[in-house]
Amino acid sequence: DGGITQSPKYLFRKEGQNVTLSCEQNLNHDAMYWYRQDPGQGLRLIYYSQIVNDFQKGDIAEGYSVSREKKESFPLTVTSAQKNPTAFYLCASSDTGVSYNSPLHFGNGTRLTVT
């Protein structure tokens, strides 16, 4: 059953600690994305990757880092430099090998709480 897996579903951290959110896809999609969503708000793009070993900053990349060493994996690290890290984080992928208009497939998100 193909899809995107984000883990864990809930994550709690102390302020000042880095934390890495996992995103794995078995859809064989080229492109992967990370979005942040705050309560009552829309999705804001953090980072995106078109192919392995390449990624681009989105609209709110400060305080975050990513890697794309494998096609199926796109982990997001929330660093201590991110001033307001508590949010709902969503990972997505798309089959841009077909078209850059290919629809996004989303995971079910990780809710990060930093205290």
Residues in contact with other proteins by the rule CB under 8 A: 4, 31, 33, 35, 41-45, 48-50, 54-56, 58-59, 88, 90, 92, 94, 96, 99-101, 103-109, 111
Whole-angstrom Cα distance, residue 48 to residue 109? 16
Q: Indicate the residue among 60 and 80 with the shorter CB distance to other proteins.
A: 60
68 and 52 in contact (C-beta within 8 Å)?
A: yes
CB of 60 to other proteins, least distance (A): 11
Q: Indicate the residue among 13 and 43 with the shorter CB distance to other proteins.
A: 43
CA distances 106 to 13, 35, 79, 88, Å, are 24, 10, 23, 13
Q: Indicate the residue among 99 and 115 with the shorter CB distance to other proteins.
A: 99
CB of 63 to other proteins, least distance (A): 19
CB of 106 to other proteins, least distance (A): 3
Q: In the chain, what's the furthest Cα-to-Cα distance?
A: 42
Residues in the chain: 115
Q: Indicate the residue among 15 and 54 with the shorter CB distance to other proteins.
A: 54
25 and 5 in contact (C-beta within 8 Å)?
A: yes
